[in-house]
Amino acid sequence: MVPELKGKKVLIGITGGIAVYKICDLVRRLKKDGLEVKVLMTEFSTRFVSPMTFEVLSGNPVFTDWSNDPLAHIHLARWADTFLIAPCTVNTLSKIATAQGDNLLTTTVLAYDGPLLIAPAANHVMLSQKAVRKNIDSLIKDRSAVVIKPEEGLLACDEEGEGKLPSVERLYDWIVWSLMPKPLEGKKVLVTAGATREYLDPVRFISNDSSGEMGFALTRTARWLGAEVTVVAGSFRADPPPEVDLIEVVSASQMLEKVLALYPEQDIVIMNSAVADFRPTDRSASKIKKEESLTIKLTRNPDILERLGREKKNQFLVGFALETENILENAREKMERKNLDMIVANPASAIGSRDYRGWIIYKDSEEEITAPSKLSAALKIIERIARLTAP
C-alpha cells in the first residue's frame, strides 16, 4: 500500500474481451489500498462479467449507458484522477484514436483530459495490422496516452503470441505511475539489489540473506516518480519490478563490471545490493567431496561503492549501511570515506522485518524514517533524493 494514494480516483473502462475477469482482482486490490474506483462497461463486456460483480467490488454503481445520468460522460471524466481502459479491444482502440464517441465509454474518453492508460488485448495478428499500429502510434503521439504492451502467451483463440492482457501487477503499477508526480523525469537512475554469490564449487557458494525487496522497491518508486530506471540484481526472492530494465548478475565481480559500464550515463546511483565482501581464492571445477574438515582461503572482493565514489563526476551517489551498534556514527563515517552524497542507515533488525525503521543521512544532518512497509520507506527515500537533486 502507498499511503500517498489513499482517496485517489481511478476510472476503469472495460470492453468486450475474455480477459475482463482479471479486472475483478485489479478493482479489489485498488480498493484494498484505499483508492476510489468507478467502472464503466461497454454493452458487450457485460456478457463476460456482470455489472453487479464490479458494483460489489468497487462499492460504486457501474455505468453502461446514460440511463441514470444524461451527463454521465462529463461527470465521470471530471471525477477521475486517472483513466484505465482494460481490456481494450482493437475496435475500441481504433474508435478512441479516431475520436469517435458512439457509446458511453468512448464519449467519456473524449470528455477526459487527464492521464489515459490503454491496455489492448486481442489476437496477435489483429494487433500487428498496419492500421492498428498506426492507431496505437496516434494515441501515444496525439493523445499522450500510455499504451501498455500486451504480454506473450497462449491466447483465448489457442494461438501463441503477443496479445494477452497485462498482469494485474503491471496494470496496478501503471495506475500508480500515472497518479504520482514526476520530479525525476528525464533522470537516469541505476539501482543495485539482491545478494551476490561467490561459488566454492559448481553447487556451493558464499552469500547472504538479502531478498532484494528493498532494492526492487527503490527501483519501482523511482520509476513512479518519472525516472528511467535500470536495476542490476544478484540473487533475489522478491518479485522483480515491472516495466524496468533488469540485468541479472551472480558475483561481485560481475556486478562491478555491469555497474561500471552503466555508471557514466547515470544521474543517480543507489547501491542497495548486499555484496559479498570475500570470495574463495580458488574455485573447484568439480563438487568438493565431504571431508572431516575443510579450510577455505578467501580473497577480498573489490569495494564497488568505494570505486564509484572515487570515479564520481556529476552522479548523485547513495549507499546503504546495516549496523548493529553506533548506527549513525558508523554510517556517517562510511558516507564520508566513500565520497557518498547520501547514505541510508538501517539497524540489523531491519532484516526480514515487514515494517521499516532507518535514517537518511546527508551533509551535516539526518532524519529518521519509519514506514509500514519497505515499499513505503523506499518512496520516502526516493522523494528525498528527488528533492536533493532538483535543479
* Residues tagged active-site: 157
Question: Residue 5 half-sphere exposure, CB side, CA atoms within 13 Å?
Answer: 29
**Strand 365-371, strand 356-362: pairing:** antiparallel
Q: Cell numbers of 389, please?
A: 537533486
Please report where in the chains the cell 515491472 appears, as a residue.
242
Rg (C-alpha) for the chain, rounded Å, is 24
CA distance 73 to 111: 7
Angle 96-98-104 from CA coordinates, rounded to 5°: 40
- Cβ atoms 14, 63 nearer than 8 A: no
Q: What is the per-residue DSSP string for 72-111? A: HHHHHHHH-SEEEEEEE-HHHHHHHHTT---SHHHHHHHH
Say how far apart CA 60 and CA 29 lie, in whole Å: 15
DSSP result, 158-196: S-EEEEEPPPHHHHHHHHHHHHS--TTTT-EEEEEESB-
